[in-house]
Structure 1
Amino acid sequence: MSCALSPSAAAGVRSVQQQRERWERKRRRVGRELVQSEQRYCEQLDLVATYFVEILKAKGTLRQDIRESIFSSIKSIHLVNQTLLAHLEEGNVGLGFEQFCPHLHFYITYVDNFQTAKKVLMMQLKKNKAFRRFKKLQESRPEFHKQQLEDLLPLPLQRIQQYKHFLRDLTENTSPDNPEFQQLSSAVAAVSEVAQRIQDNARSHENHLQLRRVQKLLKGRTTRLLAPGRWYIREGCLKMVPSKGTEAKPKMFFLFSDILVQAKLCSSIHPTNGNKFTCQRVYPLRECTVDKVFGHTKSQGGLISLTFAQAKLLLMSSDQENINDWYRSLCLAIGQLKSKTTVVHRREELLRTPLRIAADGQNGQVASPPAARRKRLQKSSGSSCIIL
């Protein structure tokens, strides 16, 4: 009895086989690129570890705390990656990353310290003449290929992003029944977490710079913009329509995740504040509602209404796209504020005497009654509070 496959079945088998061969070819190509780039990466890490960290430690050019602030965990990263490279060169990609991922905490330490490292390095180059000469001498070595220390220090952050792409490509081109599939999948998840941390830190740093920039634009020190959890969103000039029939006046507005700052330009003839703004009002967004107002701009630009607990603003722009962008930004910021998770306390938690207060009571001080403490807890809470 014949067991020959039908033409369509045979074509299906060939198609599956061809697909597997394509996967394997791409897997081998990605593997080669990974090994070659890892070799180069380890060489660059070795330059920093040998010609900077070790020699600076031996010479005593920098204090230990300053060295650690600049180079952080880069020596540990170098050692871990040498082990990874040995596995990759032997073709054990899955095993290599399985043993590598538990040491990602060295990368996390490095990532979290990176902005400090840049700041301390800049300070030392500015103030420490001996270190400045040492750095220039080391960078002139032929092994550095004209690279500077500033080019080498960001490499661990860049390498994590590269690992994420390499591992995704390898996982996508590895059959689920391959022994390495689970190892690669786990590595993708672990490396992606660190990559996300890098992006979050970069966004947080950029936001900090924006807050500081706007703070410097405002005259005086009355308005404090640098606050935990506050994010810069946008800024721009809008015309404020007064409640009475006078002419609309241009004002500068700065939108943050929790407040809207209204300011006006200082006098141009002022000797020091000519390019700064005077803060006029700070509006909390948590108690704000925003609406579009139609029929008041003769189809040119637009008008939005902002209602606060004790104030109302009518803001106008002759640019329709600009006012629409402001409307969307305000709606998004207000919506995110109001959708923050509500804090839920059980009643017994609010009535429980804190240890510190109990200790104070034993020392002769009178503790507050439970009802008074509960009111203070509810009043001090920044988010809404539900008592169960």
Structure 2
Amino acid sequence: GGSPALGTRLKYQRARWERKRSRTAKELLETEYKYLEQLDLVLTYFVTILKAKGTLKPAVLETIFGPLESLYSASHVLSLHLEKGNLGAGLENFCQSLDLYGHYAENLEHFFCSLKGISLFCCTQEQVRKNKSFRRFKKLQETRPQFQGRVLEDLLCLPLQRLHQENSLQLLRVQKLLKGQKTQVLTPGRWYIREGWLLVVPSKGEELKRRMFFLFSDILIAAKPCHPLHPLNSNKLSCQAVYPLQQCSVDKVFGHTWSQGGLLSVSLPTLMQVLFLSWHGVSCTHWSYRLLVTSLSSGKEAPLGL
């Protein structure tokens, strides 16, 4: 045990990190409200009315608008978490909706030749071109004051733009938390998954070491708090290791159950085996699942299938 003064400084340090997380949650919430408002325009003035009128065949409607209602619901749940300041829980829940974005992205590829104003619905353009009533309806809806001059194409791109914005914000936050610029977090194609405190079990009978871990789509970062009395870095973390997930194999250690928590082994052929011990059973289950899935899919550029 260290001195009481050092313990107090550590508590203060962690409180500062929590305030930073809360600030990030607040920033996310403000932009989430705007995003939900814009999605609601598409659902209210296009999807709902088109379904009721039967202007487009159900299959065509699905191809054009995809899982927008589900995406709206996922973001609404995220906003409820953010309202309570639960950034971690909100993002953990939101990660489960990433496959929806994958399906949505696939649909966008089908009917967007490009984002530069070429004809909107490529895979269904024959049906839509013939459907003059849809074209009239689309133009009429876009002239509503609520749309503020935006066209349907702009609004349909919002979900993927939003996903990239949220991810960039998380990458930037982690980059700022880490001391120095040696560890490059802001890398194109990298996706933030989750973070949390875990215990590292040393190979020799030393003390357990509490470390902060950041899991991304391609790497796992282990970091420890800088000295709380450091004049410049007292509120930062020092990167201890970066594990490339493509080289990792993850498993639970024999004799430990997922439900009660326990040890996770993360093995790299080029390094010694590393063992992690979680605080809570739920955390262990979530970490093991995320690590397993992410290491298996780390060859992909984006975790849209997670």
| CA offsets 1:120-145 (integer angstroms, 9 cap, x no match) | xxxxxxxxxxxxxxxxxxxxxxxxxx
Change (3 A) 1:288 1:268: same
Is contact 1:219–1:277 with CA below 8 Å preserved after alignment? yes
SS of residue paired to 1:337? coil
Is 1:209 the counterpart of 2:169 in the alignment?
A: yes
C-alpha contact 2:197 2:213 (8 A) present in aligned 1: yes
For residues 309-347 of structure 1, the C-alpha deviation after alignment (integer angstroms, 9 at most, x for no partner) is 22221000231111111000001101212578xxxxxxx
Given candidates 273, 279, 282, the residue that maps to 1:321 is: 282
- What TM-score, normalized to structure 2? 0.53
**1:49-198 equivalences in 2 (<5 Å):** 158-167=40-49, 169-170=51-52, 174=54, 180-182=55-57, 186=60, 189-192=63-66, 193=108, 197-198=157-158
Distance in 2, Cα, partners of 1:207 & 1:283: 20
Amino acid at match of 1:310: T
1:238 aligns to 2:112 (yes or no): no
Q: Distance in 2 between the 1:189 and 1:167 partners?
A: 16
Q: What residue in structure 2 maps to residue 285 of structure 1?
A: 245
CA distance in 2, matches of 1:288, 1:325: 17
Of residues 211, 223, 229, the one that matches 1:269 is: 229
Contact 1:237–1:251 (8 Å) recurs in 2? yes
User: Secondary structure of 2:157's match?
Assistant: helix
Identity over aligned pairs, percent: 42
Aligned residue for 2:159, secondary structure, equals helix
| Structure 2 gap segments, 5+ residues each | 1-32, 67-107, 109-152, 302-306
Contact 2:190 2:218 in 1 (8 A): yes
Could you tell me how far 1:257 is from its partner in structure 2? 0.3
Of 265, 271, 291 in structure 2, the residue corresponding to residue 330 of structure 1 is 291
Contact 1:260 1:283 in 2 (8 A): yes
- 1:156-215, Cα deviation, whole Å (9 max, x unpaired): 5542233453145326xx4xxxxx444x76455334445663211111100000000000
**How does the TM-score come out when normalised to structure 1?**
0.42
Point out the structure with the larger helix share. 1
How many angstroms apart in 2 are the aligned matches of 1:334 and 1:227?
18
Hey, what's the Cα distance between the residues in 2 that align with 1:295 and 1:196?
A: 50
Map 1:353-364 to 2 at 5 A.
none
Quote the residue 2:136 is aligned against: none
For residue 176 of structure 2, give the secondary structure of its aligned residue in structure 1: helix
Aligned in 2, Cα 1:253/1:154: closer, same or farther, shift over 3 Å? closer
1:32-51 matches, cutoff 5 A: none
Separation in structure 2 between the aligned mates of residue 248 and residue 316 of structure 1, nearest angstrom: 9
Secondary structure at 2:163 match in 1: helix
| Partner AA of 1:218 in structure 2 | L
Distance in 2 separating the partners of 1:233 and 1:153: 21
Quote the Cα distance in structure 2 between the aligned partners of 1:276 and 1:269. Answer: 11
The higher radius of gyration belongs to: 1
Give the paired residue count.
183
Alignment partners' CA distance in 2, 1:217 and 1:200? 26
Q: Which amino acid aligns with 1:330?
A: L
Where relative contact order (Cα < 8 A, 6+ residues apart) is larger, the structure is: 2
**Aligned residue among 255, 259, 265 for 1:305:** 265
**Distance (whole Å) between structure 1 residues aligned to residue 260 and residue 198 of structure 2:** 14
Report the aligned-residue RMSD.
3.1
Unpaired runs of at least 5, structure 1: 1-150, 175-179, 341-388
Q: How many Å separate the matches in 2 of 1:168 and 1:248? A: 60
Whole-angstrom CA distance in 1 between matches of 2:35 and 2:186: 28
d(CA) in 2 for partners of 1:281, 1:198: 36
Give, in whole Å, the separation in 1 of the partners of 2:164 and 2:35.
20
Residues 190/296 of structure 1: CA separation in 2 closer, same or farther (3 Å cut) = closer
Q: Provide the C-alpha distance between the structure 1 equivalents of 2:207 and 2:180, rounded to a whole number of angstroms.
A: 29
